[in-house]
Amino acid sequence: MSKKIHVSLSLVSAALISFQIVLMQILSITQWHHFAFMIISLALLGFGSAGTFISLYRDWLIERKETIIPASIIISGIFTVISIPLSQLNIFRFDTLLIFTDNSHLIKLMFTYFLLLLPFFTGAVSIGLIFVSYSGEISRLYFSNMLGSGLGGIFAILLLTIFKPQSAPVVLSVLYLFAGIVYQKSSNKKIITILEFSLLIIIITGWLVEFDFKISQYKDLSKTLNLPDAEIIAEKNSPYGFIQVAESDALRYAPGLSLNFRGNVPVHKAVFNNGDWVGAVISCDFSDTNSVFDFTTEALVYKLIKPENVLVLNAGTGENVIHASKYNPDNITAVEPNRALNYLMKYRLADDNDSVYYSDKIDLVELSPRTFLQKQLGNYDIIKLPMLGTFGGSAGLQAINEQYLLTSDSFELMFDRLTDRGFISITSWLDYPFRNPLRLLSTIIKGLQMKGIGEPQSHIISVKSWSTISFLVKKNRIRYTDIAAVREFCAKMSFDPVILPGIRPEERIRYNRIQDNGLFNFIDSLLSDNRQELINNYAFRINAPSDDQPFFSQFLKWNNLSEIGEYFGSNSVPFFELGYLIVILTFTQILIISLLLIILPLFRLGLTGEKKLQTFIYFTGLGVGYMFVEIVLIQKFILYFGNPVYAASAVISFMLICSGIGSYFSRSVPVNRIGLRIVLAAIILLILIYALMLDLLLKSTIHFEEIWKIILSFLIIGIPAFLMGFPFPLGIQKLDRSYREQIPWAWGINSCFSVISTALATLLSVELGFTAVLLLSMLAYGMTAGVTLFYREIKL
Amino acid sequence: MIKYIIIFCLPLLLFSQDKFKLLRYDMVDDQIVSRGIRDEKVLDAFREVKRHEFVFQSYIDFAYQDRPLPIGYGQTISQPYIVAYMTQIIEPDSDDRILEIGTGSGYQAAILSKIVKEVYSIEIISELSASAESKLNNADFSNVQLKTADGYYGWEEYAPFDAIVVTAAAEYIPPPLIEQLKDGGKMIIPVGSPYLIQQLMLIEKINGEIKTKSLMPVRFVPFTRKN
C-alpha cells in the first residue's frame, strides 16, 4: 500500500479535528460555548453516519474507491469553507434564546446541524473507505488516522492563535487540497481535477472575501454595539476565545451601585470574549467619578482591613486589581490564565488602565487560580474572587462549566493562604429563585468544616445591596471592631447586613427589602446544624460542589423540574438551566440518530447471526470506555496545568497520538482471545488505579517544576492511551478474517458510541462525579472483555 | 372590481379586528386579573391598547399570549402581565407625569398614556425609537413624548417625575434618575433576562432617603420540596 495513502489519511484526520475545534470557537462567538457539545457530537456523528453509509453501499463504493476517496476529501474541503458562511444566512441562522420560544429557530437549528455535519460526513467517508478497502493494514492505517488527529488538535491551537476564526476554515481547507492531490490516483482524473480546481477557487475567494459572522442579539457584545457610536477598537484571537474591545459614549459599568452615590458613573471601554462580557477597562485615576467601586458591597472588605498584600483571582480586565491598588497595599498578585487578555491589558490598553500591570507592586501570574493556590504557598490579607453569577441570575449558561475555584476544596485552600487577620471576599448577584448566594454560602461553610471550624457564623460576614450580596470569610473569629465597621459601612451606603454576629432581624431589611424573606431563613438554616435538611429539600441544588463534581452553576434537580415549571411557567424553565438542557437535548437527539445509524446497516447485513451481538458489544464498550477516560483526564489535567485550553488540547492530542502508536504496535499482539484479554485486563487495571490514586498523585506533584510535570503527564496519559489503541485494530483485524462486511458497521458503532459518551460523560460527571465516570469506563472495557470471555466460539 | 374587493375584504378586516379585541379581553381576564391586578384604570388601558400593533408582523398571532416577544436588537416586548404589574405598582394617577427609560416597542408608553397626563419616553437605540414613534404617532397617544437619547441622564427638562419606569434591566440605577424622581415618587426596574423576569425592583424616595424593595410578580413559593 502506498505511503501516499497514509499521508493523505493523516492530513484529512488533522483537518477534521482542527475544523472541529475551530467550529467550537465560532459557535462560542455567535451563540454560546455549550454548543461545543453539539460540535463534538456533529463530528463524531459524521463518522457514525459515514460508517452506516459505507455499510449500506460497501461493494459499490469499494469498486469506485479510487475516485470516491479523493472526491470526498475535496468535497469535505469545500464544505469546510462554505458551511459556516451558509449557516450565517438568515434562513439558517438560529438564536439560542429563541429556540425555546419560537419554533422556527428550532428548525433553523436543525438546518445548521445538517449544514455543519456535511464536512464531517464527507471527510469521514474518505477515512472509512480507506479503512474498509485496506482493512488488512488497519493497524498502520489507524496509526496514521490517530497521529493526524492528534497533530490536528495542536494545529488548531496554532491556527486560532494566528488567524481570525472566520479565516481558519479557509486555511484548513488547504490541508484537504493537499490530501486530495497526494492521494490522487483516480481512473477518473478529470472529475477530481475539476473538484480540486473548484476547491482552489473557493479557497482564494474565501481568503479574499472575509465574511462577518453575526452574533446572537442577546449576547453582551451585541447589546453594547447597539449603543450610540459604539465600535470595536481592538481584537485579538487566541485559543481562549475571540477578544474584542468595544467603546461607546454610553457604556458605563457600576455593578450594584449604592443608590446613595451622587457622582457621575464614568464611561469605560469594555472587553468581551466570544461576545460575552469580561469586564470594564478602568483607570487608576481615583477621582470622584471613579469612586463607584467604593459604593458597592465589594468595597466592604477594605473597610475591615488595611491590606499589606492582596491576591486577586481571575483578575480579568483588572477591575479588582485597580480597586485594591487604591488602598495602597505593598503587593497585589493578579492571577489570570487568559494570555490574550493579559496581553491586551498590558500593551494595547495600557493607556486606558494607566499601565497598571507595570507597577512594581503588582505581579501578574498567567495561571488558573486553582492551580496557583495549590502551587504557591504565600499568605494574603485579602483574597478577592470575581463577581459570581449574572445580573438577575438568569439563563444558567454556565451550568455545565467546571468551576474549580468554586468548590469546597478551593475554599479550604484559600483559607490556608490567608494571613491570621485575612479575609476572602466574594460577591454574587442576588438571583431569584435564590441559588447562587445559597450555594456559595454552602460551599464556604463546607470549606470551613474541612478546616475543622465548627462555628462558621463566627467567621462569615455578609451584606447585601439592592442587587448584590457579598460574603467575607475571616481567618480568625470576627471581632467587635469588625461588626461596628460593617454597620457603619451599611448605614453609609444604604446596604443591609445579612450575616453578622448579633444581627437583629430588622437590620436585614432596613434599606433593601425583599418580598421573599425566605432567603434569610435559608441562610440561617445553612449556618445551623440543620443545613443538610435544607440542602436535601431545597428545590435546587445548593450543596457544596467538590473537585470531583465542580459544577457550581448546575442547580437543576431532576425530580423538581415539573414543580419548578408549575410555579414559573413552562416557558421559563429552559432559561434556568439553559446550558444543561442543551446538553440533554443534544444527548437525546444523538442517541436517537446514533441508534438509527446502527440499526440501518442491519437491514443489509441481516438482523441476527454472524456474531453481530458480539461485534456490537465489543465496539460499543470501546467507544464508551475511551471517551469516558478521555473526558476525565482532560478535567484532571486542566487543574494540574492551570491552563484549560492548552491542557485540554494537549490531553486530546497526546491521547490520540499514543493510541495511534498503540494501534501500530497492535500488529505484534496475536489476534486471539489471550492477546486481547491481556490488553483489556491491563486497561481495566490501569483505570482502577487511576480512579483510586490519580488525584493524590496529581495533588502531590502539582508544585513540581513544569518539565517534570510534563514528563509525568506523558506517562499518566500515554500508558493507558497506548494500550487503548490496541483493541480497535485487533477487533477490526478479527472481523477482516471472518466477517469483513461488518467492518464499516463496527467502525460506525464505535463512532456513534463515542458521540453518545461525550455528552453522557458530562451528564454523569454532573450527577455522579468524575470518579464515577472513570469507574463506568472500567465497566465499558469490562463489557468488551466480557465478549471475549463468555463466548466459546468467539470470533472477536 | 375594486368595489367588490372592498366588499369582500371589509368583513374579513372587521372580523380580524374583532378577533384581536376578543383576544385582548381574554388576555386581561386570563393573564392579568387572574393574577391579582385589580386597578381598573390599568385594566381598561390593557383592554384599549392594541398590543398586536406593537409586535412584528410575524409574531402577530402570539401578541396576546402569556409571554414576551422579541422586537429585535436583543430587546423584547414584555409579557402582558409584567407590563400590568409594573404599571399598577407605581400607582399611576391621571395627573401624573411619568418618565419611561427604554421605549422599546412603545407598548408600555401606550398603556401609561391611557392612564396618566404626560408620558416621556427615552430610547437609546434609534431604530427602535423610530419604530415606536411611528406606532405612537397618532391622536390616541398624543400625550406621549419620545426622545432618542442615553437614558442615563433622564429628561431633566421635564423633571421631577411622579414615577419612573425603567423597562430594560440595568446593573446600576443612574444617579440622575434618582435626582429626577419626585419626593414620594416611585421607580420600577426589572431584574433578569427578558425571558425570565422573576424580580422587579421598586425604589421609593421618602423624605430624600432611598429605599428599595424587590418584588416577585410570580406566585410566592417557598423553595423547599413538598414532602
In-domain check, residue B185: yes
Looking at residue A794, its pLDDT comes to 43
Residue of B78, B105, B113, B129 marked active site: B78
The confidence score (pLDDT) of residue A379 equals 94
Give the pLDDT confidence score for residue A400 in this predicted structure.
57
What pLDDT score was predicted for residue A107? 87
Interface of B with A in 66-95 (CB under 8 A): 66-70, 72-74
Q: Examine residue B100 and state whether it is found in any structural domain, yes or no.
A: yes
Would you list the DSSP string of B37-71? ---HHHHHHHHHS-GGGGS-GGGGGGTTSSS-EEE
CATH code at position B178? 3.40.50.150
Residue the block writes with cell 368583513: B11
Which pLDDT belongs to residue A610?
64
The CA-to-CA distance between both ends of chain A, in Å, stands at 25
Lowest-pLDDT range, A25-34, A283-292, A387-396, A544-553?
A387-396
Q: Which amino acid is at A387?
A: M
Give dist(CA A592, CA B206) in Å, integer.
60
> pLDDT: is A376 or A595 the higher one?
A595
At residue A480, φ and ψ (nearest 5 deg) are -60, -35
- Inter-chain CB proximity A567 and B218 less than 8 Å: yes
Return residues 95-154 of A near B (CB < 8 Å): 97-98, 100-102
Q: How high is the pLDDT of residue B220?
A: 38
Rounded to whole angstroms, the Cα distance separating A62 from A133 reads 6
Distance CA A111, CA A563 (A): 33
Indicate whether B40 pLDDT > 90: yes
Is A571 within 8 Å of B218 when comparing Cβ atoms?
no
Pick B92 or A651 by higher pLDDT: B92
Domain tally for chain B?
1
Q: Phi/psi of residue A402, each to 5°?
A: -75, 135
> Which residue is associated with the grid cell 499518566?
A716
Q: Would you call B211 an interface residue with chain A, using a CB distance cutoff of 8 Å?
A: yes
Superfamily of the domain at A3-212+577-790: MFS general substrate transporter like domains (1.20.1250.20)
Tell me how far CA of residue A494 lies from CA of A88, A724, A752, B65, B179, in angstroms: 48, 61, 58, 39, 16
Spatial neighbors of A602 by CB under 8 A, at least 6 apart, are A612, A745
Residues whose CB falls within 8 Å of the CB of residue A193, separated by 6 or more in sequence, listed in order: none
Whole-number Å distance between alpha carbons of B80 and B65: 8
Say yes or no for a CB contact (<8 Å) between B174 and A433: no
All structural domains of chain A with their residue ranges:
3-212+577-790, 220-273, 285-386+400-558
A251 and A270 Cβ atoms separated by less than 8 Å: yes
- Between CA A407 and CA A644, with CA A634 as vertex, the angle to 5 degrees is 70
Q: Which of residues 540-559 of A touch B (CB under 8 A)?
A: 540
Residues of B within 8 A of A560 (CB-CB) are 225
Closest to A517 in 3D by CA, of A596, A464, A456, A478: A464
Per-residue model confidence (pLDDT) at position B219 = 43
**What fold is seen in the domain A285-386+400-558?**
Rossmann fold (3.40.50)
- Residues A273, A304 contacting (CB under 8 angstroms): no
Residue pair A494/A258 in contact by the 8 Å Cβ criterion: yes
Tell me which of A697 and B14 has the higher pLDDT: A697
Predicted local confidence at residue A411, as pLDDT: 96
Condensed to tens digits (0 to 9), the pLDDT of residues A394-444 reads 444 445 567 889 999 999 999 999 999 999 999 998 888 888 999 999 999
CA distances A789 to A327, A393, A732, A742, Å, are 69, 53, 18, 21
The answer on pLDDT for B227 being more than 50 is no
Lowest mean pLDDT among A64-73, A213-222, A569-578, B20-29: A569-578
* Structural domain that includes position B208: 67-215
The C-alpha cell that represents A444 in the structure block: 464556604
Cell numbers 429605599 correspond to: B211
**pLDDT for residue A718 is more than 90:** yes
Inter-chain residue contact B223 with A511, CB threshold 8 Å? no
pTM of the model: 0.86
Given a contact cutoff of 8 angstroms between Cβ atoms, the answer to whether A52 and A742 are in contact is no
pLDDT in tens, B102-157: 999 999 999 999 999 999 999 999 999 999 999 998 767 999 999 999 999 999 99
B91 lies in a domain? yes
Share of chain B above pLDDT 70, in %: 84
Contact between residue A545 and residue A552 where contact means Cβ atoms under 8 Å apart: yes
Sign of the dihedral defined by the CA atoms of residues A451, A455, A460, A466, in that order: positive
Identify the helix (H) or strand (E) that includes residue A426: strand A418-429
Indicate the pLDDT class of residue A792, thresholds 50, 70 and 90.
Answer: very low
Would an 8 Å CB–CB cutoff place A250 in contact with chain B? yes
Q: In this predicted structure, what is the pLDDT of residue A553?
A: 82
Asked about B58 being catalytic, the answer comes back as: no
The answer to whether A252 and A262 have CB atoms below 8 angstroms apart is no
Q: What is the pLDDT of residue B104?
A: 93
Residue with cell 483493541: A727
Residue A683 has pLDDT above 80, yes or no: yes
Question: Is the peptide bond prior to A433 cis by the omega test (within 30 degrees of 0)?
Answer: yes
CA distance B89 to B147: 25
Encoded amino acid at A161, one letter: T
Contact A515 B126 (CB under 8 A): no
Q: Tell me what the mean pLDDT of segment B57-75 comes to.
A: 88
Question: If you average pLDDT over every residue of chain A, what do you get?
Answer: 87
User: Mind listing the pLDDT tens digit for each residue in A607-655?
Assistant: 666 678 888 999 999 999 999 999 899 888 888 887 766 777 788 888 9
CA–chain centroid gap for A99, Å, is 22
- Pairwise pLDDT comparison (A34 vs A206), residue with the higher score: A206
Tens-digit pLDDT profile for residues A586-619: 788 788 888 888 888 888 777 666 678 888 999 9
